[in-house]
């Protein structure tokens, strides 16, 4: 399950985009038949909390632009190694896991109406996730406005390694999306979208246990308190994560991209809120500069800030019940990703075309540095990470 969380981090290092008019996007020649593209990539993630991920990926696309259809598939393997402070605090050994992810999607377009259908499977020894979804779009106003709507459904089964499947818990997820893309002028495009996600079922982490403290003892537990200090001050009870079995998520996103003579700038903003009380803002900026006809480089920066969930506590205290026994907080979590934090990502990429101008053969290298500041969590205050992605793309027509 840890791998499932990490993949969200890896998504920060997306491939360097080369827009129309820049390297690799010379005036397009309409193909006369089927085209095939294939790519392979290797991503690596490592952070100061002793979590390391290696992710090889293969992908392929078969398309016919004249007929208006394409089919694409992707297969990814996450090899996750962890000896993080959370593993150490639970007195667990070094942890290693392999995650397999596969997806398949098809796009069709006729008369200005586009349809996309897709699905995917993610499998770990203690986690199985299956999802399907689709999107419909319509070109309006001479293709200057393209509204779209979409929906998705996912089912996750959650367990523990070695636990019989009959005892696993499940989670259902339904997503709705709507928005539009706008051609502002010959050099500028923009888009807006809204996402609604409704989750029901088991939303906690079965491997995470929460330290508890006696009434009034939490004031002695500072942010970033060490494992030794926490173990010294906590009581013997250490219950598992317990989160509400319903979570509604809402997000609004906007994007604008502008093409200059030999460069492109893209800005993204996303505002988020959910029924647990977590709110967040994510700002992303990417700039691509052409160096000649076959090379492009570009810096990338991202800033994310969030407030904690409503029931977040750095140190959860017990209460004394009328019968003299200890009461445990109904909702509790040690997941610092649900607390207040700020993350800064900075890096850049390099793309080189192999062959003639407009060749579908290319190599792309993307590297990112990630700094996260946890403002009210146990064990660590700062996490530093590095992400790298090397992509080789080929095409045949």
162-220 pLDDT per residue, tens: 889 889 999 999 999 999 999 999 999 999 999 999 999 999 998 889 999 999 999 99
Average pLDDT over residues 374-382: 97
Residue 17 falls within a domain, yes or no?
A: no
Q: Is 89 exposed, middle or buried (0-12, 13-18, 19+ CB in 10 A)?
A: buried
Residue 154 falls within a domain, yes or no?
A: yes
pLDDT at 19: 38
Residue 349 falls within a domain, yes or no?
A: yes
Q: What is the distance between the alpha carbons of residues 378 and 49, in angstroms, rounded to a whole number? A: 13
pLDDT digit string, tens, across residues 132-159: 999 999 999 999 999 999 999 999 999 9
pLDDT digit string, tens, across residues 76-118: 999 999 988 888 776 666 789 999 999 999 999 999 999 999 9
Residue 9 falls within a domain, yes or no?
A: no
pLDDT at 316 over 80: yes
pLDDT at 224: 96
* pTM for the whole structure: 0.88
Q: What is the distance between the alpha carbons of residues 269 and 280, in angstroms, rounded to a whole number? A: 11
- The DSSP letter of residue 337 is G
pLDDT digit string, tens, across residues 250-278: 999 999 999 999 999 999 999 999 999 99
CATH of the domain at 138: 2.40.160
DSSP E strand boundaries for the chain: 35-47, 51-64, 69-82, 95-110, 113-124, 127-138, 145-158, 169-185, 188-201, 212-213, 246-259, 263-274, 279-291, 295-306, 316-317, 319-320, 326-327, 341-353, 362-374, 382-396
Residue 8 falls within a domain, yes or no?
A: no
Q: What is the distance between the alpha carbons of residues 151 and 115, in angstroms, rounded to a whole number? A: 12
pLDDT at 87: 80
Residues 6+ apart with CB under 8 A from 165: 157, 159
pLDDT at 17 over 70: no
Q: What is the distance between the alpha carbons of residues 382 and 378, in angstroms, rounded to a whole number? A: 11
Q: What is the distance between the alpha carbons of residues 121 and 171, in angstroms, rounded to a whole number? A: 15
pLDDT at 28: 40
141 CB neighbour count, 10 Å cutoff: 9
Residue 55 falls within a domain, yes or no?
A: no
- What backbone torsions phi and psi does residue 116 show, to the nearest 5 degrees? -125, 130
pLDDT digit string, tens, across residues 339-350: 999 999 999 999
pLDDT digit string, tens, across residues 213-235: 999 999 999 999 999 999 999 99
Residue 38 falls within a domain, yes or no?
A: no
Three-class secondary structure of residue 32 per DSSP: coil
Q: What is the distance between the alpha carbons of residues 80 and 52, in angstroms, rounded to a whole number? A: 6
Q: What is the distance between the alpha carbons of residues 273 and 276, in angstroms, rounded to a whole number? A: 8
DSSP bridge pairs for 82: 51, 95
Q: Which domain holds residue 200?
A: 105-387
Q: What is the distance between the alpha carbons of residues 74 and 356, in angstroms, rounded to a whole number? A: 27
Band of residue 310 on the pLDDT scale cut at 50, 70, 90:
very high
Residue 132 falls within a domain, yes or no?
A: yes
pLDDT at 24 over 50: no
- The DSSP letter of residue 262 is S
Total number of domains in the chain = 1
Which of 108, 141, 317, 304 lies closest to 212, judged by CA? 317
């Amino acid at each position: 399950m840890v791998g499932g969380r990490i993949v969200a981090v890896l998504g920060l290092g997306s491939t360097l985009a080369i827009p129309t008019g820049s390297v690799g996007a010379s005036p397009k020649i309409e193909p006369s038949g089927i085209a095939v593209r294939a790519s392979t990539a290797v991503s690596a993630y490592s952070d100061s909390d002793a979590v390391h991920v290696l992710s090889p990926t293969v992908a392929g696309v078969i398309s016919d632009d004249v007929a208006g259809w394409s089919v694409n598939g992707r297969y990814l393997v996450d090899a996750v190694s962890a000896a993080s402070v959370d593993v150490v605090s639970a007195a667990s050994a070094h942890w290693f896991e392999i995650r397999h992810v596969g997806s398949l999607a098809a796009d069709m377009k006729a008369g200005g109406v586009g349809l996309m259908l897709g699905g995917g499977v993610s499998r770990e020894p203690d986690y199985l996730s299956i999802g399907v979804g689709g999107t419909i779009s319509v070109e309006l106003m001479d293709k200057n406005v393209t509204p779209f709507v979409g929906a998705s459904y996912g089912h996750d089964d959650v367990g523990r390694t070695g636990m019989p499947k009959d005892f696993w818990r499940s989670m259902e997820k339904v997503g709705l999306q709507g928005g539009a893309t706008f051609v502002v002028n010959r050099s500028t495009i923009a888009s807006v979208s809204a996402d609604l996600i409704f989750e029901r079922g088991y939303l906690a982490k079965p491997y995470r246990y929460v330290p508890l403290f006696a009434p009034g003892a939490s004031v002695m537990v500072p942010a970033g308190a060490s494992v030794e200090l926490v173990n010294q001050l906590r009581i013997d009870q250490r219950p598992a994560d317990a989160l509400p079995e319903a979570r509604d998520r809402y997000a609004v996103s906007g994007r604008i991209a502008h093409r200059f003579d030999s460069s492109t700038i893209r800005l993204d903003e996303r505002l988020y809120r959910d029924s647990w009380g977590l709110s967040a803002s994510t700002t992303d900026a990417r700039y691509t500069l052409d160096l000649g006809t076959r090379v492009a480089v570009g810096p990338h920066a991202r800033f994310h800030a969030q407030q904690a969930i409503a029931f977040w506590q750095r140190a959860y205290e017990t209460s004394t019940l009328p019968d003299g026994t200890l009461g445990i907080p109904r909702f509790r979590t040690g997941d610092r990703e649900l607390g207040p934090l700020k993350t800064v990502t900075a890096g850049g990429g390099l793309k080189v075309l192999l062959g003639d101008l407009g060749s579908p053969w290319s190599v792309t290298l993307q590297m990112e540095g990630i700094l996260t500041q946890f403002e009210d969590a146990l064990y660590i205050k700062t996490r530093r990470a590095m992400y790298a992605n090397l992509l080789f793309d080929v095409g045949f027509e």
